[in-house]
Copies of this chain bind each other. A is one copy, B any other.
C-alpha cells in the first residue's frame, strides 16, 4: 500500500471529484458539516452507519440517491487505513442480507408442497431475499465520475483486508459478482496500443507490466515498434486503464529468448514477412478484478486480429516463464536426491564433491560450467514438471501452464537460458517454455484438459519427459 499516506490504493484526490460532483448535482444538503476522524472511532462509525442506512433505503429519485452515495464515498476516501477497515467492517456486518426476510422466504418455500408454480415463485423470493443489502449502495457508484474505478480499487482494498478480517470476504466476493457482470467480456474493447497511444495510457503499461519489467520509455517504445504488437482489453468507463494486456513479437521461427526480444538495439523485422507471432508477456492490471478471467479471450481475439492483418503468419506461440519449476525441482531433489538424474548425467556431473543442491546454487550465481553441465538434466526435469506435476483437482502444478492448457494450447518447446534476469534465474534457472496455439486443436485440447486433466504436448516434449 505504497504511495499514499494512508496506505490505500485509492487516492484521496478522488474525494474532491466526488464532492465536486455532488455539489454540481445540487444536493448539498447531503454534506455532513463535520469531518470524520481519520480512524473512524465508534461515534463517527455510528454516523457512517446511519448514512449507509439512508443510502440503502434509497427513497426517492435515482439521481439524488447517487449523490448521497458519492458523499459516502468521499468520506471513505478521507479515512486512513484503520478507518477504512472499520468502514468496510460496518458495511460487511451491518448490511448483509436481511435475516428475517430470508427466514420468511424459507418458511414460504417450505409451505409450498407440490405446487410447482408456487414453489418456483417462492424460490424466486428466496433468491431475492438472499441478496445482501450492500448491493443497493455498491450499485449507486457506477454513475459517478471514476466510480467504476473506485469500485475496482475498493475491492482491491477488501482483498487486502480480508486476511485479517474474514467478515469482509463475503463483501469482497459479492462485489466480484457485481463486477463480473459490469466487466462482462461483451462490454470490453480490444484496443491495439502503439506509439500513437496516449501517454496517459502508456505510463500504465510501465506501471502494470508484471512479467518482464519495462525499464524506461525507450524500452517501452521498442516494445511498440513496427515488428511488435500490444493489445489490451479496456472498459468503456476506464478509458486509460488497461484491464489486461499482451505483448507480441513478430518473428521468424518461434523465439527462444526474451532477452533477445527486449534488446533495444536489435533491428526490426518486416512484419509482412514474419511467420510467427510470439506472445511474450501477459499482465493482469487490476487487482480488484482478481477472479474474473480475461486472458483466454484476449489471446483468441488477438490471434484473430493478427491473422487478418498479416496473412503470412503461420504459428502463434507464447514465450513463457515457468515460475514453479525451481521450487518443485528442489523438493524432488530433497526427496529423491540423485535418483532424479540418469546414470550418464550423474557421471557427467561433479556431484560427488558437493551434492546437487550446491550445483544448482552455483548455476544460479552464473557459473558458466554449470550452464553447460546442467542444461540437459534440468531441461528434462522441466519437461517432466510441465507434463506431469499436479495440484488438487488435477490441475497442472505450474500456474502459467494451467492458464495456457485451459486455453487449449500445448507445451511445445523448452528454451535453455531464455531469461537471464534475476527473476528468470531464480524461478527456473533461465528456462522458458513455448506454448503453441493451433486453431484446429484448441477446442479438443481445452476440453481434454478440463475433463480428464489431459496435458497436450509436442512429440519432443513428451519424449524428453519420458527419459
Mark A residues whose CB is within 8 Å of B: 24-27, 29, 59-64, 96-97, 102, 106, 109, 117, 120, 123-124, 126-127, 130-131, 139, 141-144, 147-148, 166, 170, 173, 178, 181-182, 184-187, 189, 195-200, 202, 217, 221, 236-237, 240, 293, 296-297, 300, 304, 406-408, 439-440, 442-443, 446-447, 450-451
Q: List 11 A-B pairs, Cβ < 8 Å.
A: A26-B440, A59-B450, A61-B406, A62-B300, A63-B297, A64-B442, A64-B446, A181-B181, A182-B184, A182-B186, A186-B237
Q: Which residues of B contact A139 (CB under 8 A)?
A: 184
A33 to B358, CA, bound (A): 62
A296-B123 contact given A184-B182, A237-B186, CB 8 Å threshold: no
A205 to B181, CA, bound (A): 29
A142 to B237, CA, bound (A): 18
Q: A446 touching B130 by the CB < 8 A rule?
A: no
Q: Which residues of B contact A221 (CB under 8 A)?
A: 199
Q: B64 touching A147 by the CB < 8 A rule?
A: no
A220: min CB distance to chain B, Å:
8
Q: A296 touching B184 by the CB < 8 A rule?
A: no
Q: Which residues of B contact A117 (CB under 8 A)?
A: 166
A198 to B192, CA, bound (A): 13
A182 to B184, CA, bound (A): 8
Q: Which residues of B contact A170 (CB under 8 A)?
A: 120, 124
Q: Which of A186, A236, A304 gathers most chain B CB within 10 Å?
A: A186
Closest 4 pairs between A and B when the two form their complex, measured CB to CB: A142-B186, A181-B181, A60-B447, A61-B446
Q: Which of B26, B297, B447 contacts A62 (CB 8 A)?
A: B297
A98: min CB distance to chain B, Å:
11
A124 to B97, CA, bound (A): 10
Q: Which of B63, B187, B199, B304 contacts A142 (CB 8 A)?
A: B187
Q: A148 touching B59 by the CB < 8 A rule?
A: no
Q: Which of B26, B143, B199, B442 contacts A185 (CB 8 A)?
A: B143
Q: Which residues of B contact A187 (CB under 8 A)?
A: 142, 182, 187, 236-237
A415 to B269, CA, bound (A): 52
A61 to B449, CA, bound (A): 10
